[in-house]
Amino acid sequence: MRRVASLHLDSLCRGQAPMAVLEMAALVWRNHAARARHSWQHARQRDLIQRYPPELSPNVIADSTDGHNTSAPSKACHGPQDPWIAEPLHTASGQLQLEPNDPKGVAAPDLRIKEAPSLSTPRVLLITQTSKEAPEIAVQPHSISISAEPPPFEIPPPPEIPPPPEMIGPVETKLLLNQTSDVNKARQHTLRSLHARSIPEAIKGVLQKQLPSLPSLRVSDGCPQAMETLHKELMLLHEGSVDMPCIVDAYKSILAAGYSTPELLRVVISSYLNGSSEMLRPDVFAAIVAVDAHLLAKGRLLLEDVPLDVLDCWCREPACLTDEAHLSELRARLYGKSQFPIHHPTSQCNSGSGDCQSSLPVTQRRRQFVIEREAHLTAIKEYLAFQRQMTEKGEGGMLSQRTRVWMQWATALSDSIRNLRNTQGSIRGLGALGYRMIRDLEMDSDLLSVITCQTALNLLLAPSVRRKDDLKGFDGRVPFVTLVVAVGEAVELEQYFREVGPTSHSRGVSHNQRMRRAVYDADDAECRRHAVVLGAALVDLLLEHACVEVDRSLLSSEEINAASNECVMNFGQAGKGKRTAKAKAFGHDLQWSDGKTVGYVRLKSYARDVMELGPEELMRFLAPKYQPMVVQPRPWRPSAVPPEGGFLMHRVPFIRTTNKKMTCLEVYNAQRVAHVMDFLGQMPWKINGRILEVMLEVQRQDLAIAEVPPKLNPELPRIPENAAEFPPHEREALLLSRHNAEKRCMELVSERPTFQLKLQAACNFEHADRIYFPHNVDFRGRTYPISPHLNHISDDICRGLLSFAEPKPLGKEGFFWLKVSLANLLGKDKLPFDERVAFVDASRDWIMEVAKDPLAPQSIKHWAKADDGPWQALARCFELAEIWRTGDEEGFQSCLPVHLDGSCNGLQHYAALGRDQIGAMAVNLLPSDRPQDVYTIVLGIVKGKVQHDARTGNTEGTLARRLEELNVLQRKVVKQTIMTICYGVTTVGAKQQVQGQLESLVGDQVGPEELSILASYLSKLVLKSIDEVFERAMAIKAWFDKATQILNQLQMPTAWFSPIGLACVQPYKKVRKVECQTKRQKVTIATEDGPRVDKAKQRMGFPPNFIHSLDATHMMMTAEGCQREGIGFAGVHDSFWTHACDVPALNRIIRSAFIELHSQPILQDLYEDLHVRLGGLELLAPPAQGQLDLTEVSKSLYFFS
């Protein structure tokens, strides 16, 4: 068996070659060996592609990265007739062509490189075999050959090529790569040069320090822990906490090594980023690491994004690397206004321009790392600003990470107070009066402890002096007298507040001052004495019981003895192998000052360190604003502790829940759900640039259309001074207009920043080729994109801004479904499909005008008020107009998603569970010529009841006639209540829904009080009408309620397995809370999860949550079907999206999945599971089912439409 390779490198010529060329030659063969090892798992990952026929049995070589065994080739990578294939490897310096002699190929080699002393020339690399099947290769200046027995066929040297003008002098190189047999030892690589340059001292420092985390700047792979470590190192580097070499000297050392032109610098950067650093000289490698770290930490730039002209500038002026203005200008040139390293079109540095190296495989992962790092830095910056505000206000102790620490002190202090109150007999000794006050005080011990801890910390963390005799914080200390008075006064004010109760006066400083005067006006001296004695006793208990667990090495010998005598020692757990101890958090010192001894209380340094989180702790504590990804999300591992997946560095839960202890992921296999999440996260998206352009223009012109909020608040109508003299109807109309204007102003307070966050996210990723949305699930199985501000599950603004990144030709049916999509968005979704398409065809003229000038007044009226999404409608107008303009209806590349929405999907599942034929017909489970509208059906019943009441003379008759007069009996008024009836909407909730719709229709004519009365009457009629249409669904819902009532009696949370295998546990438990009104604010603290379930939430939540678990299962089964058939898919609960050309296939998959789901005995399985959990307690069997034939669903055109 034999194969021969020839190397043609334009820079490899007579005895003269830069070091980079020989490094690259060796790199080619090192890559060859690596690719042979991984050919079955990583086919076609790089330029060199090798395939092996399945009958070969090469040596078993384990992949150290993923641990997979490669002894069995994957049949997915090749077929039985597939010969060994080699393709040319194109490099910056030339081309390598591998030519197979044996079509059956060779076994995967395991190679080592060592010195070849037997050859005559010193410029020789010898790669020897470690097994008989492995070939050996020899690398010489003019040829490279690989051989196994028999000897290789020699290739003549290439013709002479003159050396490049910038090439350095003769370099004779030996490469020694000695791989030890001990797998636990690091591989040692040494690259020596006979004409080696001197290494700058700064670089020697780098080599001595070895900077263990910085080589992972390549981010070629790594777990979240590695990414977090890298992020922490870069933060320390940015802050100057880590010594790095002079960047100018580091860059000069690269130039001195012979890489003195932009083209040769590119070779270094490429080798470094491709993981070929061992082929570089150590000084060059250390220098390039230093430069890369500097650009990432301080310039927020990727080294591979730097264009040639900037590299050339750095060759001439290395000092530019440290010029912040230069780096900022470069960042703006490359990335525009984006917060993240995503190329702007004007940067002339994209993957296809050749002006930079952004097409390297590792670049996108590095880009994603920088995006996540920027999100963390932004979160830390915002948190530190908030921390400064809280501390300046004297409320530093109420920051949440500090609360976690001092709540442990509050618990210990509360236990001590309870023990004191349980003491029998009199209390004597020093401080006995204060302890007796605590015992006799009628205040909960938890409340006393919270007030004491909060007040003490607010004083100790105050940054400056507030008043001469108050808050005298300096050097982190507070006079003991000031502290005890503050604690005593806080307790006295709380006691007074509880006795007097809230007043009608406004709160704030003036209110607290009035309370303070009321407490001390009677006998100021006596009251202050009482406060001091009480405060001193509480502070004494706090100093005694407040402890923190710290590394024993941080304590003095006295503190260690005190910890050993008074606190429990703890070795090895919290400190992860370190010797730790619980030591006192506060110290009490006496100091001679101004002729007297003054006592001070201080928060000890190690306790303050626990309070002040460092960068690493902040990364775990803070939740950044998650952004879309520019690489595919990491696969989920839900059973890991904690679950892993999604982002490279961000840690996010697999299941969204308020009580993570109830997810139970460690005890069962949720991998099927995880695979669906991976599939959803791999769907590539992009920003619709034209929609973003129009949206920015709408904001700039302040048009306030299509849910874009106006810049200014509406003008509030002025109430005249003589308004009381107006006629009643005029006065009410004036007050109503004022009320509505004030309400709108309040709504705009939240609408503006929310819109701005969405717009900013779209601008940041406008020029990204692809973006991805990692998904996770809630406890019911419903899927959600993790990035909150920009995703397809959000409102119309976000949906309009997004489109699929991979367009597909419309084909024969795609154009039809694209028209249906626009008709649905324009409110024509209750028409038959042919009529929807005819409506769009009839609207062709105005669609073309809208696409031409969407902000013209005659265009705005067509799209800006679309019923189900104006921005999505506008995007489809743009695409339809382009299709009509080109005339290519089948070949047009469409990237817009087409939505297929369920027809009141919750009631569809109820009808299928009960095999309810009447309900099934109302929600389109059965075939029909026209789509059935359950909302219209229920509305008809409601109208009949209103007409009946209107003929009576009682109160209901008056309300019914008023509804008819206002003409509000419309479909939209009843729609929301019908949609949510299967999700457990209550009478109160239904009233609020109806009232909101009435207000939008006649809010300018009817006052709030009358609207409330009308809504109460109408909502009751709606609920009664629903019961008549969906009798079996309501019977199933009642059965759910009875099952939950029995579980509530046993204090058991309601739980079940969804049909797709997700354990669903309702996390509704009562939480123990401590509330106190301090002199600054009211504080509510949840101390722990209560031991008892919240019965009301458990009962009301079970019916909707169970139905949600069914629609989530249906969506996941549909996603699995799409994955099997190779079509794109995105889902929003009961709305399924795909390309227009793939809608017919998606229609078939949706119906097949629904039939498969409900062919299972879902209610019977639930009944048996509950029977086991109840331990034999009697539970009524589920309601009997009807005669619905589920296979009819496959014939229903409008089941999902």
- Residues shown for the chain: 1201
Separation CA 386–CA 409 (nearest Å)? 24
> In the block, which residue shows the tokens 């791999």?
682
* Beta-bridge partner residues of 99: 4
Q: At what angle do helices 811-825 and 870-886 cross, to 10 degrees?
A: 140
Kindly tell me the sign of the dihedral angle through the C-alpha atoms of 1175, 1176, 1180, 1181: positive
The answer to whether residues 1053 and 1065 touch, using CB atoms and an 8 Å cutoff, is yes
Separation CA 204–CA 282 (nearest Å)? 10
3-state secondary structure of 96: strand
Separation CA 982–CA 748 (nearest Å)? 32
The answer to whether residues 733 and 1006 touch, using CB atoms and an 8 Å cutoff, is no
The answer to whether residues 919 and 1029 touch, using CB atoms and an 8 Å cutoff, is yes
Give the active site residues. Answer: 901, 975, 1134
Look up residue 921 and give its two tokens. 């017909």
Separation CA 728–CA 250 (nearest Å)? 83
Distances (CA, A) of 27 to 30, 73, 139: 5, 26, 11
Mode of pairing for the β-strands spanning 1069-1077 and 1082-1093: antiparallel
Classify residue 550 by burial, with Cβ atoms within 10 Å: 0-12, 13-18, 19+: buried
Sequence letter at residue 705: I
Look up residue 114 and give its two tokens. 């060592």
Q: At what angle do helices 524-545 and 400-421 cross, to 10 degrees?
A: 100
The answer to whether residues 1192 and 915 touch, using CB atoms and an 8 Å cutoff, is no
Which of 158, 160, 147 lies closest to 5, judged by CA? Answer: 147
Which of 943, 1019, 941 lies closest to 987, judged by CA? Answer: 1019
Distance of CA 66 to the CA centre of its chain: 25
Separation CA 525–CA 918 (nearest Å)? 81
Kindly report the CA angle at 1024 between 1020 and 1028, in degrees rounded to 5? 165
3-state secondary structure of 119: coil
Separation CA 333–CA 344 (nearest Å)? 8
Mode of pairing for the β-strands spanning 775-778 and 655-656: parallel
First to last CA, the chain: 61
Q: At what angle do helices 282-294 and 224-239 cross, to 10 degrees?
A: 80
Separation CA 36–CA 216 (nearest Å)? 24
Q: What is the DSSP string of 351-372?
A: TTTSSS-TTSTTHHHHHHHHHH
- CA torsion angle 91 96 100 106 (round to 10): -60
1073 secondary structure, DSSP code: E
The answer to whether residues 73 and 56 touch, using CB atoms and an 8 Å cutoff, is yes
Which of 698, 925, 679, 657 lies closest to 797, judged by CA? Answer: 698
Mode of pairing for the β-strands spanning 569-571 and 547-551: unpaired
Separation CA 292–CA 360 (nearest Å)? 15
Which of 976, 967, 981 lies closest to 995, judged by CA? Answer: 976
The H or E element that residue 785 is part of is strand 783-785
